[in-house]
Structure 1
Amino acid sequence: MDSSSDNGLLDLSRKELKKIEKLSPEKSKTINNLILDQNELQRLDNLDTYLHIQNLSICNNFLVRMHGVARLTNLRVLSLNNNGILQIEGLKEMLFLKVLKLAGNNIKSIEHLNHNIQLEHLDLSNNQISFIADISYLKNLKISPLSLDTFRVGP
């Protein structure tokens, strides 16, 4: 890994990465923020070696699935904008997640957020959403670029 990490930040943007490198347990403890924007990532293999990160950005890649984030239980901010993600998944154990950015993907429905009651910001703009399940349990949600009037809201 040739990118510097200062103040817990590891910025691997624009490195033409096709895969995420494994991180040693010692190095893992020093990384709080990981940026993997504008690469060529299609999968999230080895992401679970970054267990201590709180902020993760993997925007403008080629991801279709996001389940690889499932073991990152310390995440507070997750940005996966402008990929090809088809559905929201892998967030069940992220009890502290406050910001979720999934704009510009291929998501068709809003679901699987039942455990993310700390969410304050949810950006699902520029997706293919036609149905929103009941999200009234997201009581901390402050900002949403979605206009709920344009969707059919479920029971």
Structure 2
Amino acid sequence: MCETSTAWPHTEAEYSRAWLSMAGYGWVWRGIAEYGGVLQSMRGIAEYGRSIAGYCRVLQSIAGYCRVLRGIAEYCGVLQSIAEYCGVLQSIAEYCGVLQSNVGILQSNVGVLQSNVGVLQSNVGVLQSNIGVLQSNIGVLQSK
């Protein structure tokens, strides 16, 4: 069997007063219910904050990717400078090719000049012998 407590109301009037008293605390229950709604809203805010944090992580990744792209762009600038320098070197190489052609022409001219020197030297020899003949003819003419 259950024992009954003397603290609990036993008459209808006592029950009514107890219910009225509990009804007076309705604002407390309403406050608790509103607090539950606030907590529900805060959960939504927390989820929103988590999604923003995820978005921020995505933005950080994009920022890192942008730094990589900036580095690649700088490297492309360096490569472009190297390409321009290679163009200068190519022009120098073409000029060297022209000079090389001129060297070939000059070498063939040197060969012609050397053979002309040989001809001139033999002509000098002929002239010297002619001078010798003329001098001896002068000597003969002077002695007569």
TM-score by length of 1: 0.16
Where relative contact order (Cα < 8 A, 6+ residues apart) is larger, the structure is 1
Greater percentage in helix: 2
Larger Rg: 2
Greater percentage in strand: 1
